[in-house]
């Protein structure tokens, strides 16, 4: 498959994830204006709709898959950076193509997570006690942020692949090296944010479980 076709296909795949997560975000914004969620009387009763529980389990599986995959981001970026420093342009290009391919697995998990977050958001208002519904809303919001940063990481990875491919055709220059260093730095920052958000999401769901057990 040609590089251009390869990148177009990946871009289309991530568009569906983006549409889903934006729709979920709008639903979450709407929840903030629902009186029953924001001002209902505290209750000692515990109630979690089965639909929410099922979506929560599936979302947890997706989040764990994302964590397993993104835990390797730092190592991958370091290898790409090392290849760049050593002038191994072909190796660097191969590594970034591998990273884009890995992002396809991440995309599938992110799509699953975004769909389950959307399902969870639909039933948050029916969760009791109120504190549990508030924690659930925070978890969904954090999950949305996680998916958004995964999309950003994928976009930066694609940008880096394009720059490396261009350099492979036209040769090296100072401006290109600065651009590559900037993209690698950006990927490092995004990787840290992704890992932190993943940990935060899992922590919130553990808190939720403690409130509803």
- Residue 65: name the closest of 20, 111, 117, 115 by CA: 111
pLDDT in tens, the chain (213 residues): 444 444 444 454 555 565 555 555 555 655 554 444 444 545 558 999 999 999 999 999 999 999 998 888 888 888 888 887 887 878 888 888 888 888 888 888 888 998 899 899 989 989 999 999 999 999 999 998 998 888 888 888 888 888 887 777 677 788 888 898 999 999 999 999 999 999 999 999 999 999 998
* pLDDT digits 0-9 by tens, 168-200: 767 778 888 889 899 999 999 999 999 999 999
Q: Give the chain's mean pLDDT.
A: 81
- Span 51-212: which CATH code? 1.20.120
pLDDT attached to residue 5: 47
* Domain segments of the chain as ranges: 51-212
Question: What is the structure's pLDDT at 49?
Answer: 94
**The token pair that represents 13 in the structure block:** 């795949």
Amino acid 7: pLDDT: 44
180: part of which helix (H) or strand (E)? helix 174-212
Q: What pLDDT shows up at residue 38?
A: 44
Closest CA to 3 of 164, 197, 154, 192: 164
How large a percentage of the chain has pLDDT more than 70?
Answer: 77
């Amino acid at each position: 498959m040609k590089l251009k076709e390869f990148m177009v296909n990946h871009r289309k795949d991530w568009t569906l994830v983006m549409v889903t997560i934006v729709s979920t975000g709008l639903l979450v914004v709407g929840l903030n204006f629902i009186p029953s969620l924001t001002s209902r009387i505290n209750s000692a009763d515990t109630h979690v709709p089965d639909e929410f529980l099922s979506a929560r389990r599936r979302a947890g599986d997706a989040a764990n898959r994302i964590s397993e995959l993104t835990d390797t981001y730092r190592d991958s970026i370091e290898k790409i950076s090392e290849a760049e420093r050593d002038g191994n342009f072909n190796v660097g290009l191969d590594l970034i193509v591998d990273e884009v391919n890995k992002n396809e697995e991440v995309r599938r998990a992110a799509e699953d997570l975004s769909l389950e977050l959307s399902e969870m958001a639909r039933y948050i208002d029916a969760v009791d006690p109120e504190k549990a519904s508030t924690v659930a809303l925070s978890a969904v919001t954090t999950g949305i942020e996680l998916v958004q940063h995964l999309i950003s990481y994928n976009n930066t990875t694609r940008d880096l692949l394009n720059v490396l491919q261009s350099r492979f055709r036209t040769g090296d220059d100072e401006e290109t090296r600065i651009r590559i260093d900037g993209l690698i730095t950006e990927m490092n920052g995004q990787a840290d944010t992704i890992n932190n958000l993943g940990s935060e999401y899992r922590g919130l769901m553990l808190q939720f479980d403690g409130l509803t057990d």
